[in-house]
Amino acid sequence: MSTLIKGGTVIGPTGPYPADVLVDGETIAAIFAPGRAPDGPDVIDATGKYVIPGAIDAHTHMQMPFGGTEASDTFDTGTRAAAIGGTTTIIDFAIQRYGEVVQDGLAAWHAKTADQCHIDYGFHMIVGGVDDDSLKAMDQLVASEGITSFKLFMAYPGVFYSDDGQILRAMQKARDNGALIMMHAENGPAIDVLVKQALERGETDPVFHGLTRPQELEAEATSRAIWLASVAADCPLYIVHLSASKALEQVKAARDLGRNVFAETCPQYLYLTLEDQLGAPGFDGAKWVCSTPLRSKHESHRADLWQGLRTNDLSVVSTDHCPFCMKDQKEMGIGDFSKIPNGIGSVEHRVDLLYQGVVDGKLSLARWVETIATTPARMFGMYPRKGIIAPGSDADIVLYDPNGRTRISVETHHMNMDYSAWEGWEIDGKVDTVLSRGEVIASGGEYTGRAGRGKYVPRGLSDYLV
Ligand code: DUC
Ligand code: ZN
Ligand code: ZN
């Protein structure tokens, strides 16, 4: 079946242009200058709308066992919410813990996602125990399973933590097989000392989560990861959830030297702060406990991150979607901030929150689309199948209404959370229509997709390898 998306403004890598987009089955068949498409197909009227590639959230944790509980969105609820918000592909993190077999962890993620996802999905692999077996498994995942990126942790000793020797070995392996190393860059052992000292002083409120994770410990770990990657013959390195100016400085310096280093940030670091959210009265700040933490509004973090997005020192915006409810989950940390499960849920709102950056004059339209769709596709080996409006690409397409308005609230969101980290936020722009592989799954506020229609996307190597 053919459909013509007519009268809209396509946002491409070089900017906006008026065009009609012909969809044939699951793919984009052709792009026509306005009025040049043949008659015949069904028409979706895109007049006054931006036509953008379906967004890709390259960092989610659906139903992740973590912090003594499990992230509250299932693959069903989380991918449905993502779809409604204009995201048509997620890359979630399968997990191997110390002593476990990597392939078993991967099989567990395939089992969780089977018949559950509303949109297409891929996996990164968390390697929580780097040893001879897991290193060998990395080769197999790259060669045969479509998994070409591996996350390591410099934080969370005793949970996912890798020491420097383990990190170096994994980086050497990645250098050999072409994979990307994704790094949670915070100095976990030093943070644990600060956490213990704070609790001994009776500092138990959520704000101390942020105060015991100072930016220096993110910057130090970022720098150490960069140097380790250098020792590993310039293994490609991608810093996840970068939150702080000093960490960004490390990435910038490495990139200026031509190093194979990339980084993402997340909407929470672009907008929210340690004082206004994490420091909210009583236990309310628990809603915004995540790692890396929100940073001080009295420093230049947010402005620096927006600038980093403009200059491509930050290449991608992902959510690190890791939702927990207040009831029974975040509440586990009443009286001890270190027991609050770490995570914020935003998978439904990333497209809108970043469009606000366009409205505020901080990003161009082209850069908006690049950071939420095109670059994630290229970074993680899904391009040009995903991330671009082009003939032959999957017809993952969002019609975005720049004249609409979005009000975010727990009353109206679709994520499985009993609060919203963005409660009451009003945003210019609105997701109007979402197509996933040619099928309209959301339009005018009505959702018509279904669990199980999303497919696993085996990924190739990153386009940014040198
Ligand atoms: N940070 C979070 O806030 N949640 C999940 C894991 C992580 O690194
Ligand atoms: Zn992390
Ligand atoms: Zn994460």
CA of 94 from ligand 1 middle (Å) equals 14
pLDDT at 3: 97
Contact in structure between 213 and 292 (CB atoms under 8 Å): yes
Fold annotation for 54-379? TIM Barrel (3.20.20)
Residue 1's pLDDT is 82
Write the residue with the smallest CA distance to atom 1 of ligand 1.
291
pLDDT at site 152: 98
Q: Which ligand sits closest to the CA of 221?
A: 2
CA-nearest residue for atom 4, ligand 1, is: 343
Distance 97 CA to ligand 2 centre (A): 15
* 322 Cβ below 6 A of ligand 1: yes
* DSSP SS3 for 364: coil
Which of 57, 322, 347 is the best mutation target for the ligand 1 pocket, counting ligand atoms within 8 Å of the beta carbon and taking the most? 322
Q: Give me the amino acid identity at 39.
A: D
Q: The tokens 């009025």 sit on which residue? A: 35
How far is CA 146 from each of CA 104, 106, 123, 124, 175, rounded to the nearest angstrom? Answer: 15, 11, 8, 9, 17
pLDDT, tens digit (0-9, with 9 covering 90-100), for 204-258: 999 999 999 999 999 999 999 999 999 999 999 999 999 999 999 999 999 999 9
Token output for 381: 């080996």
Answer for the pair 463, 376: CB distance below 8 angstroms, yes or no.
no
Q: Is the CB of 59 under 6 A from ligand 1?
A: no
**Which residues have a Cβ under 8 Å from the Cβ of 368 and sit 6 or more positions away?**
11, 354, 355, 357, 358
Residues 346-381 have pLDDT tens digits of: 999 999 999 999 999 999 999 999 999 999 999 999
Q: Return phi, psi of residue 4, to 5°.
A: -110, 120
pTM to 2 decimals?
Answer: 0.98
21: CA distance to ligand 2 center in Å?
38
Whether residue 290 has its Cβ less than 6 Å from ligand 1: yes
Stated length of the chain: 466
Phi, psi of 123 (to 5 degrees): -130, 140
State whether the beta carbon of 345 lies less than 6 angstroms from ligand 1.
no
